[in-house]
Amino acid sequence: MLMPAIRRQYRRWPLALSYLEVDIRQLRKLETTKVRYALNGVSYTSELDRISCPTLGIVGTASPALLAYMRHLTAAIPKSRLEEVPDSFDPSNLCQPEEFDRLLGGFLDEIGWR
């Protein structure tokens, strides 16, 4: 049931599509539905201000909802910043891998982890 929607959504990003097709075929329907419902009910946003390390949020611009969500999350984390990957969806590392790697690499250089 998910595959037609996934194929439409990800046709611009063949690498992401190829990974998602494999992953979706391996999903167990009942367990996946239960996990999705459980995740939808969890919110740790009020505790994000406890994070004390530098934090980078990376999000694709193809989804206004995901973009708004990541803006909300990074705004709640001290010492965080948000980078937007143009023409990308989730997962950005598979939709625009070069740009994702550039952003992450720059962040790791900046904090002295690479």
Supply the angle between the helices 3-10 and 14-25 in degrees, to the nearest 10: 170
- pTM, two decimals, is 0.81
64 assigned to some structural domain: yes
**89 lies in which domain range?**
52-110
Number of domains making up the chain: 1
Q: Which residues of 65-87 are buried (b: 16+ CB within 10 A; e: fewer)?
A: ebeeebeebbeebeebebbbbee
In a domain, 43, yes or no: no
What's the rounded Cα separation, in Å, for the pair 91 and 86? Answer: 13
Return the pLDDT at 30: 81
**Residue 102, domain member (yes or no):** yes
| In contact, 57 and 81? CB cutoff 8 Å | yes
* 38 belongs to a structural domain: no
Instruction: For 66-106, write each residue's pLDDT tens digit.
Output: 999 999 999 999 999 999 999 999 999 999 999 999 999 99
